[in-house]
A and B are shown apart, each in its own frame.
Chain A
Amino acid sequence: MSGVRVLVGTKKGAFILTSDGKREKWDVSGPHFAGWEMYHLKGSPVDPNRIYASQTSGWFGQIIQRSDDGGKTWFQPGTPPGETTGPGGQPKGESNKFVYDTSRETGAPLTTHQFYDGTQHPWEFKRVWHLEPSLSDPDMVYAGVEDAALFRSTNGGKTWEELSGLRGHGTGPNWQPGAGGMCLHSILLDPGDAKRVFIAISAAGAFRSDDGGKRWKPINKGLKSLYIPNPEAEVGHCVHHIAQARQKPEMLYMQKHWDVMRSLDAGETWTEVSGNLPTDFGFVIDVNAHEPETIYVVPIKSDGEHYPPDGKLRVYRSKAGGNEWEELTKGLPQANCYVNVLRDAMAVDSLDKCGVYFGTTGGQVYCSPDAGDSWAPIVHHLPAVYSVEVQTLD
């Protein structure tokens, strides 16, 4: 019987929530890596038992963890517990090593970006925000990091190499950090074109590569941001998240700092589709697994007030690719709710009906097994939720 495994990253550990296809009764496992900030966990589409996790700490830096048994046990790639060297003879500790490429051979990428005060600032690695396993190779995985850059591992996370063309194409001095830091938070691997990759950075914008990550172009035409000198600049936009329609990979959606946007041409141009939303500020956006024009957002009051308007936690759904939105409230708190839903904290499964999941900074993880019509909490009291991903299991 089919089921789901929900991978939850929180401020103080990771949790794994499992259920059968009904998605009514749940088993909760965790905390894994108790006390550590778990920014993101994601399973390989090729091998669902292979899960990558970003474990990070302001004290001890970045750790990459991997499970090959669906989250029951974990190890640092290349460093199985109790062994002095990894199976491939790799020195231990390399899996934690994210060092920016400064070599001349690969284009001598830029060494500064804009800081909060507008001055130039050197790139400094802080943490991995997002891990995106390959659609075809369980040993290949991408990492989006802060300060913004894209890394890739081709050996199951043992070692990492920067795809430095992203930082090297010339616009870096105009990238700047948002309140959460200058993070590369979204990575979309095109299911229809193995060489096409989309990423998004806060605050730089969206970018696309059509050659497997060597060269990149900004794809921000149509975005308007009043917090940069030229609101329609090529880069500098605070994109909070991007999502892709699985059946129509050229169809992209974006939740920007303000504005919900849609592209029908793989990001070449964007159109605002905020429509009748109560506020178009927010962080998450996702697409129904079966209906490319059915999308979900969680409106947040404003950039200064990161909680739902009127203290009512509402998911908004559009079945028309935006512009026309309906509020979804059944099962969600409609009074005195002042949580936030962070950018990587919404996911969908591929069951029929499509399940939709999101986690809050108040520690709740909600599931809708009926495409958003109704919601129920899976857990109530976790640490602040940073990320939610779901695996649909056969």
Chain B
Amino acid sequence: MVRVELPAHLRALAHVKGEVTVQVAGTVCILSVLDALEAKYPMLEGTIRDHGTRQRRPFLRFFVCAEDWSHDPLDKPLPEAVAQGKEPLLVVGAIAGG
């Protein structure tokens, strides 16, 4: 199971508390994790990546094992630590606004 940490507003939309876990078939990459996440919590569709373009929303970032993966290819395999559930994929809202 892959662990995903969501911003508080998205946890509220998904009616969950704390981390969520998703089962990912095949290669574990950000793309497959997002697909699994949206399949399990479809109310999140459109909130992390745009409905039309399917691109990451500009005010969201992906952090993996203390590194910024926001601009890496979405199909790049995630580290084993994430694939095995030892480390979470962090979906983080940009520090902006008020």
Contact = CB atoms under 8 A, between A and B. Distances in A.
B66 interface: no
B57 A93 contact: no
Contacts of B10: 60
B9 A61 contact: no
Interface residues of B, number: 24
B9 to A, nearest CB: 6
B11 to A, nearest CB: 11
Contacts of B60: 59-60
Contact of A36 (B9, B45, B50): B9
Task: Name the prevailing secondary structure of the A interface residues.
Answer: loop
How extensive is the interface on chain A, given as a class? Answer: 20 to 34
B97 A58 contact: yes
B34 interface: no
A99 B57 CA distance: 15
A79 interface: yes
A333 interface: no
Given A58-B97, A60-B10, A125-B52, A97 B46 contact: yes
Interface string B40-54: 011111111011100
B25 interface: no
Nearest to B51: A97
A96 interface: yes
A76 B13 CA distance: 9
Given A36-B9, A59-B94, A61-B57, A82 B47 contact: no
Contacts of A82: 15
Contacts of B38: 93
Interface string A97-126: 111100000000000000000000000010
Contact of A96 (B7, B47, B59): B47
B51 A60 contact: no
A81 interface: yes
Interface string B2-24: 00000101100101000000000
A91 interface: yes
Interface in A188-233: none
B9 A93 contact: no
B54 to A, nearest CB: 11
A154 to B, nearest CB: 19
A92 B45 contact: yes
Nearest to B59: A59
Contact of A59 (B7, B43, B51, B52): B7
A60 B97 contact: no
Contact of B13 (A63, A98, A100, A125): A63
Nearest to B94: A59
A76 B43 contact: yes
Given A36-B9, A93-B38, A93-B42, A60 B47 contact: yes
Contacts of A35: 9
Given A82-B15, A93-B38, A99-B51, A57 B9 contact: yes
B34 to A, nearest CB: 12
B57 A96 contact: no
Nearest 9 A/B pairs, CB to CB: A93-B45, A92-B42, A60-B47, A96-B46, A59-B59, A93-B42, A97-B51, A79-B43, A59-B93
Interface of A: 35-36, 57-63, 76, 79, 81-82, 84, 91-94, 96-100, 125
Given A60-B10, A62-B46, 12 more contacts: A58-B97, A59-B97, A60-B47, A60-B93, A79-B42, A79-B43, A92-B43, A93-B46, A94-B45, A96-B43, A100-B52, A125-B51
